[in-house]
Amino acid sequence: MIKIAIDGPGGAGKSTVARAVAAKMGIVYVDTGALYRTIGYYVKQQNIDPADREAVAACLGGINIQISYVEGKQHVFLNGEDMGDKIRTPEMSMYASAVSAIPAVRAFLLDTQRDIAARNSVIMDGRDIGTVILPDADVKIFLTASEECRARRRYDELVAKGQKVAFEDVLNEMNQRDKQDSIREVAPTAAADDAVLLDNTDMTFEQTVDAVIALAEKAQNK
């Protein structure tokens, strides 16, 4: 069993890199952002202000989240409904960021994340995986890149999905969300003390994947 934690700001390529590493190593990729997005989706559906901590905490009792993996792809079900791409919009990114700052939401998702890691070899990406969720992970990586580069990747990703967005808006939204995620009181985006800092601004996707696998192999051979 191996546990790899990848944290970092938006657009650093955490999810695409983690997915590729998981496929190459034959382990499970856990996208924890999808869980916060799912809660954001429910909060919106219920017409609750995501900044209203009490109201958000009170609605958690109505949420049942199930995760399943089909051919390596993670599916998150909210009360039986497959979230699919519905949680992949810029609006859901902001909802996810807002609800993720609420301690009750983080507590609600803690066991779900730890349970998956207890039962499988995983590469898990998020903001607090190395610091809070899997403090004993075999490999901890804090993946980052320049602001311009991260916004460009996020923009290309959204355009490829057919969404009509302006680069400036993507950059501003990304910066606002990263700031929000890193200054919050509970589990802010942070590198664990024992994390390896990987800046992939000048690295290709393949180089980044190889670097993560090399770190995993090194940890396994210890």
Q: Of 74 and 97, which CB lies nearer to ligand DC in the complex structure?
A: 97
| Residues contacting 102, CB < 8 A, separation 6+ | 53, 56, 57, 186
Assess contact for 124 and 28: CB atoms under 8 A. no
Q: Is 128 in the site for ligand DC (CB under 6 A)?
A: yes
Could you tell me how many residues of this chain bind ligand DC (CB under 6 A)? 15
Q: Is 127 in the site for ligand DC (CB under 6 A)?
A: yes
Assess contact for 6 and 216: CB atoms under 8 A. no
Q: Of 27 and 30, which CB lies nearer to ligand DC in the complex structure?
A: 30
Q: Is 36 in the site for ligand DC (CB under 6 A)?
A: yes
Give the shortest CB-210-to-ligand DC separation in angstroms: 22
d(CA 19, CA 30): 8
d(CA 4, CA 175): 26
Give the shortest CB-145-to-ligand DC separation in angstroms: 15
Stretch that binds ligand DC, among 22-30, 31-39, 65-73, 137-145 (CB under 6 A): 31-39
First to last CA, the chain: 13
Q: Of 59 and 150, which CB lies nearer to ligand DC in the complex structure?
A: 150
Q: What is the footprint of ligand DC within residues 74-103 (CB under 6 A)?
A: 93, 96-97, 100
Q: Rounded to 5 degrees, what angle do the CA atoms 211, 216, 220 make?
A: 150
Where does this chain bind ligand DC (CB under 6 A)? 10, 32-33, 36-37, 93, 96-97, 100, 126-129, 177, 181
